[in-house]
Amino acid sequence: MTSILKADTIQDTDGNNIINENSNTITIGASGDTTNIVGTLQNNGAAVGGTNTPNFKVYRNTTQSISSASWTKMQFNTESFDTASAFDNSTNYRFTVPSGQAGKYFFTCHGQIAQSTQDLNRLIIAIRKNGTAVVELEEDGAYDEYTMSFQATLIDDASVGDYYEGWIYQINSGSDALNMQADRKNGFSGFKLIE
């Protein structure tokens, strides 16, 4: 036997609307209420919500020598977290989109170059996808500098197997190799966006 309950408004014992239907719009609860849903909330059969995974955050825990006037891959060798073990922090220093995780991703890369003499002129940061720069930002020193900082961000549509890396280029008037500073002064992170 099937039972059907027909009502356009359900109220609590104090007369407050709990569920209301008006012009094909269903309102559950009222402003200030807490609504607990047990089970899976769906939108036309698909689960609502999600998580920003996979995600990762890596940094370099020692200084890295960066040659003058040549591109150098930033070797982020320490993981704060890496939910899908998708960042290679020992060989290729890159994030690779894992199987089943294609979609839009957000990436950010930052760091600082320093030297003991004041002759740093130019700094370029790039986030590369499959070896090709997708974003590239340049910082020119108004005067020769001791240090220069950089940051680049990217939102990109990624397929399984695509890989992302941070690269850096510096020029100084002494043509010296400079150090990318360690720990909190550098990092690379990213996560999949919920769509």
Count of CB atoms situated within 10 Å of the CB of 115:
20
- In the chain, the domains with their CATH numbers are 55-192 (2.60.120.40)
Beta-ladder partners of 180: 64, 113
pLDDT of residue 190: 98
The per-residue pLDDT string of the chain (195 residues; one tens digit each, 9 = 90 and over) reads 678 877 778 888 887 878 878 888 878 877 777 877 777 777 776 667 778 999 999 999 988 888 888 999 999 999 999 999 999 999 999 999 999 999 999 999 998 887 777 777 888 999 999 999 999 998 876 556 677 788 999 999 999 999 999 999 988 777 766 677 788 889 999 999 988
Measured distance CA(85)–CA(23) in Å, rounded? 49
pLDDT of residue 3: 81
DSSP assignment of the chain: -------SEEE-TTS-EEEEEETTEEEES-TT------S--EETTEE------SEEEEE-SS-EEE-BTS-EE----EEEEETTS-EETTTT-EEEPPTT--EEEEEEEEEEEE-SSS-EEEEEEEEEETTEEEEEEEEEEEEEESEEEEEEEEEEEE-TT-EEEEEEEEEETT---EEEPPGGG-EEEEEEPP-
What is the tens place of the pLDDT at every residue in 113-128? Answer: 877 777 778 889 999 9
Torsion of CA 93, 94, 95, 97, to 10 degrees: -140
Measured distance CA(166)–CA(149) in Å, rounded? 14
What is the tens place of the pLDDT at every residue in 129-142? Answer: 999 999 999 887 65
pLDDT of residue 98: 98
